[in-house]
Amino acid sequence: MYLARYLLILFLFLISRNLNAQINSSAPSLLNQKSVQLNVGTQGIGAEFAYGILPELSLRGGFNFIPFKANDVFKVSGFNSTSNLSADFYNVHELADYVPIKKATWFRLVGGFGYFFKAKGDLRIIPSDDYKYGDLVLTDDQIGYVDLNVNWKGIAPYLGVAFAHTFPQNRFNVNFDLGTYYLSKPKADITGTGLLEGNSSQTPQFQSNIKDYRSLPIVQVNFSYKL
Amino acid sequence: MFTIKKLQMGLIMLTLAACTKPTENIKIVVDTDVIKYTALINVTDGENGNPAPANATITLSGAAAQDIYELSGNKEIKLSSGIVTIGLRPTIAPTADQPINVNVEINAPGYNKEARQVIFKAENKQQVVNIQLTKIGSTTPPIVTPPPPVYNNVALTFTGRCPNRTDLEIRPSVYVYFKKSGSNAAFQYLGYMDKGKISTNLLEQNGTYEFQIVYGAETYRVTQKIDQTNYNLTIDMPAACNF
């Protein structure tokens, strides 16, 4: 616990020093600069290659993926159940970083597109009690389960801001992204098995509930190495 | 700075756009077809076709009697409106070579005892067994109810409602009876509703009908005027809501 706390403090110190140094420095032209960076954040982990195409504009392309699994994060009221949640988001993206204020080159506007070749969330709800039907105790197969599936696969525009320079002034820096992908309209469905087979009738309601879930917020730390 | 503020606002708006809970207004739909091999026992007063008297009792005997349950899964078998649906425990099933038999005996004060053998066959998951009671000493032959007239097809979809569980919805698999609303005639057999759906040609356009189901020793009814070819009907089924 103490080790984790010390590591966190050291990490924050390094980041703040790095950011401070970059903020205080004069702005170099981005033109023809190159870097590679590894990142970690709300869209998982990934890597990017960045290249300056104008003095105040650079492009970066890369990929990110986040396979996520969790149990019992979702409860249905009045219905004792366990749940298995899995989310898979895999994207390739192309972003443009623009420095809008010459005196604040540490600040960038970021826009672009990602193609999510996999972007889905699956939730399986399984009754957890020994459910009785009258005097009959039902087996797991007889009861069945309910699957809720959502798929956002497709092209998604990205808009955000970034802090600290894209290209390290020395060899290495840490910079940050804050923004959101606007995902394609989700396709949602519910399927069931056993006694819960009829839950597919709830698909239109689920689709309606989920239709506005199109924002994928991005909070991301980039570890950049200048080439 | 103005650009940054505009961007921040944009990001907040995008995130807040997704504010409906994903499971809002979603119900858990539960089927009742746990018991696959069923037999509806319909006991009537042979003199007038009305349901058996309320104090009529049903007794099962035979080797398979221990494997017989009421449609709702209860071991206790009782008549309601002269009707009960019995069925085999879901872990057993008849085969082509070995049907499963059970003896049914009906007793009612003032009436002769009636007995039938109900045979569950592999190829016949649903069956209706009509038993007419005759009064002790009566020589009147049992009435013969003519078959109902035939009309165009009407599709009915029944949804079982749980008065105390708004998060639950029932998709009943049960035998349905019907009669014209306001009529003194006895309910007649309409058909077997599979997972809430039944299609029938026994309903007249512009007629108003009462539909009746018996489940868990309770009788449930709903009324509907027929002037279309498809209907969604909701019927209270509290006996099916103990899931």
The answer to whether A180 contacts B11, with C-beta atoms less than 8 Å apart, is yes
Q: pLDDT tens digits, residue range B150-206? A: 999 999 999 999 998 888 999 999 999 999 999 988 999 999 999 999 999 999 999
Q: Residue B63 falls within a domain, yes or no?
A: yes
Split at pLDDT 50, 70, 90, the class of A10 is very low
Contact A148 B22 (CB under 8 A): yes
Nearest-neighbour CA in chain A from B141: distance (Å) = 39
Backbone angles phi, psi at A157, to 5 degrees: -70, 150
Same domain, B112 and B174: no
What integer pLDDT is reported at residue A177 of this predicted model? 96
Region A192-207 average pLDDT: 94
Domains detected in chain A? 2-226 (2.40.160.170)
User: Do B109 and B46 have their domain in common?
Assistant: yes
CB within 8 Å: B25 and A215: no
Average pLDDT over every residue of B224-235: 95
Whole-number pLDDT of residue A17: 47
The string of pLDDT tens digits covering residues A163-192 is 998 899 889 999 999 999 999 999 999 999
Does B206 reside within a domain? yes
What's the rounded Cα separation, in Å, for the pair A50 and A59? 6
Report the chain B residue with the minimal C-alpha distance to residue A198: B29
Strands A172-182 and A154-163: antiparallel
* Residue B167 token pair: 């998060």
Q: Which amino acid is at B218?
A: E
Give the span between the Cα atoms of B36 and B93, in whole angstroms: 8
Tell me how far apart the terminal alpha carbons of chain B are, to the nearest angstrom: 58
User: What is the tally of structural domains in chain B?
Assistant: 2
Placement of tokens 């009908």 in the chain: B209
Using the 3D structure, point to which of B99, B133, B167 is the last residue of a domain: B133
- Distance, C-alpha B5 to centroid of its chain: 62
Q: Based on the domain organization, do B114 and B160 belong to the same domain?
A: no
Residue A2 scores a pLDDT above 50: no
For residues A111 and A57, give the distance between their C-alpha atoms in angstroms, rounded to a whole number.
11
Interface touch A136/B243, C-beta < 8 Å: no
| Chain A positions in Cβ-Cβ contact with residue B169 (cut-off 8 Å) | 198
Task: Say how many C-beta atoms besides its own lie within 10 A of residue A79's C-beta.
Answer: 18
Identify all chain B residues contacting A107, using CB atoms and an 8 Å cutoff.
4
How high is the pLDDT of residue A8?
A: 44
Q: Measured between CB atoms, which of B11, B26, B72 is closest to A179?
A: B11
Burial letters for B215-229: b for 16+ Cβ neighbours within 10 Å, e otherwise? bbbbbbebebebeee
**Structural domain of residue B175, as residue ranges?**
154-240
User: Looking at beta carbons, which residues of chain A come within 8 Å of B243?
Assistant: 131, 133, 195
Residue of B nearest to A74 (CA): B23
- Residue with more model confidence, B242 or B42: B42
Percent of chain B, pLDDT > 70?
92
Average pLDDT over residues A9-30: 52
Q: Which of A18-27, A171-180, B101-110 has the lowest mean pLDDT?
A: A18-27
For residue B148, tell me if it sits in a domain: no
Amino acid present at A73 = V
Residue-wise DSSP of B174-241 = EEEEEEETT--SPPEEEEEEBTTEEEES---TTEEEEEEEEETTEEEEEEEEE-SSEEEEEEE-GGG-
Q: What CATH number should be reported for the domain holding residue B220? A: 2.60.40.1120
Are both B40 and B125 inside the same structural domain?
yes
Q: What is the ipTM of this complex?
A: 0.83
**Arithmetic mean of pLDDT, B92-116:** 96
Residues in B whose CB is inside 8 Å of some CB of A read 3-4, 7, 10-11, 14-15, 17-34, 69-70, 72-75, 89-90, 165, 167-169, 171, 195-196, 216, 242-243
Cα–Cα dist B106/B58, whole Å = 5
Q: What is the pLDDT of residue A4?
A: 43
Residue A174: Cβ-neighbour burial (10 angstroms; 0-12, 13-18, 19+)? buried
Task: Please indicate, yes or no, whether residues B126 and B41 belong to a single structural domain of this protein.
Answer: yes
- Residues of A in Cβ contact (< 8 Å) with B171: 198
CB contact (8 A) between residue B73 and residue A161: no
CA distances from B134 to B45, B47, B60, B142 (A): 7, 7, 20, 7
